[in-house]
Structure 1
Amino acid sequence: MSYPDQALAEEIGERVERFVRETVASYERDPRLEDHGPSEDLVRELRAKAREAGVMTPHILPDHTHLSQRGTAHVLKKSGLSPLGPVACNTGAPDEGNMFLLGKVATDAQRARFLDKLLTGEARSAFFMTEPSADNGAGSDPSMMKTTCVQDGDEWVINGHKTYITGAEGAGVGIVMAKAEEGACMFLVDLPHPAIKIVRLLDTIDSSMPGGHAEIRIENLRVPVADMLGNPGEGFRYAQIRLAPARLSHCMRWHGVATRAHEIATTYACRRQAFGKLLVDHEGVGFMLAENQIDLKQAELMIDWCADALDAGENGNVESSMAKVAVSEALFRVADRCVQVMGAMGVTRDTIVEQLFREVRAFRIYDGPTEVHKWSLAKKIKKAELSRSA
Structure 2
Amino acid sequence: TAVKDGDEWVINGHKIMTSNGRVADFLVVMCRTEDDDSGNANLKMTQIIVPTDSPGLERIRSVPIWGHTGGDHMEIKYKDVRVPLENALGARGSGHQAAQDRLGAGRVYHCMNTIGQMWRAFDIMVKYSTQREVHGGKLETKQFIQGFIADSYIDIQAARLMTIHCAEVMDKGGNSRVDISAIKIFVPEAGSRVVDRAIQMHGWRGVSSDLPLAGMFQGFRTLRLADGPDEVHRILIAKQILKRYHDGLSWDFGV
> If the length of structure 1 is used for normalisation, what is the TM-score?
0.58
The match for 2:21 is 168
The one-letter amino acid of 2:114's match is W
The match for 1:155 is 8
Which residue of 153, 160, 163 maps to 1:300? 160
8 Å CA contact 1:171–1:211 kept in 2: the answer is no
* Runs of 5+ unmatched residues, structure 2: 35-42, 250-255
Cα deviation for residue 314 of structure 1 reads 4.3
Which residue of 134, 138, 159 maps to 1:274? 134
Cα distance in 1 for partners of 2:180, 2:145 equals 32
8 Å CA contact 2:20–2:72 kept in 1: the answer is yes
Corresponding residue SS for 1:205: coil
8 Å CA contact 1:171–1:192 kept in 2: the answer is no
Q: 1:131-172 CA distances to partner (integer Å, 9 max, x unpaired)?
A: xxxxxxxxxxxxxxxxx1111111111111112221111113
The match for 1:265 is 125
1:352-363 to 2 correspondences below 5 Å? 352-363=212-223
The match for 2:151 is 291
Corresponding residue SS for 2:50: strand
The match for 1:367 is 227
Counting aligned pairs with the same residue, the percent is 36
The one-letter amino acid of 1:276's match is G
Q: 1:275-334 CA distances to partner (integer Å, 9 max, x unpaired)?
A: 211101111101101211221111111221222222223463322111101111111111
Aligned residues: 240
The match for 1:179 is 32
The match for 2:252 is none
Corresponding residue SS for 2:247: helix
8 Å CA contact 2:32–2:44 kept in 1: the answer is yes
Q: Which of these two proteins has the greater Rg computed from alpha carbons?
A: 2
More strand as a share of residues: 2
The match for 2:80 is 220
Cα deviation for residue 192 of structure 1 reads 4.2
Cα distance in 2 for partners of 1:192, 1:303 equals 41
Cα distance in 2 for partners of 1:387, 1:373 equals 21
The match for 1:193 is 54
Q: 1:92-145 CA distances to partner (integer Å, 9 max, x unpaired)?
A: xxxxxxxxxxxxxxxxxxxxxxxxxxxxxxxxxxxxxxxxxxxxxxxxxxxxxx
Cα deviation for residue 206 of structure 1 reads 8.4
Q: 1:48-81 CA distances to partner (integer Å, 9 max, x unpaired)?
A: xxxxxxxxxxxxxxxxxxxxxxxxxxxxxxxxxx
Q: 1:228-259 CA distances to partner (integer Å, 9 max, x unpaired)?
A: 11111111111111111111111122222222
Corresponding residue SS for 2:248: helix
Cα gap change, 1:240 to 1:334, in 2 (>3 Å): same
How large is the RMSD of aligned CA atoms in angstroms? 2.1
Corresponding residue SS for 2:89: coil
The one-letter amino acid of 2:73's match is H
> If the length of structure 2 is used for normalisation, what is the TM-score?
0.86
Which residue of 251, 262, 265 maps to 2:111? 251
The one-letter amino acid of 2:242's match is K
The one-letter amino acid of 1:199's match is I
Cα distance in 2 for partners of 1:170, 1:314 equals 39
Corresponding residue SS for 1:388: coil
| Residue 237 (str. 1) matches residue 97 (str. 2) | yes
8 Å CA contact 1:205–1:358 kept in 2: the answer is yes
Corresponding residue SS for 2:201: helix
Corresponding residue SS for 1:351: coil
1:12-27 to 2 correspondences below 5 Å? none
Cα distance in 2 for partners of 1:204, 1:211 equals 7
Cα gap change, 1:375 to 1:387, in 2 (>3 Å): same
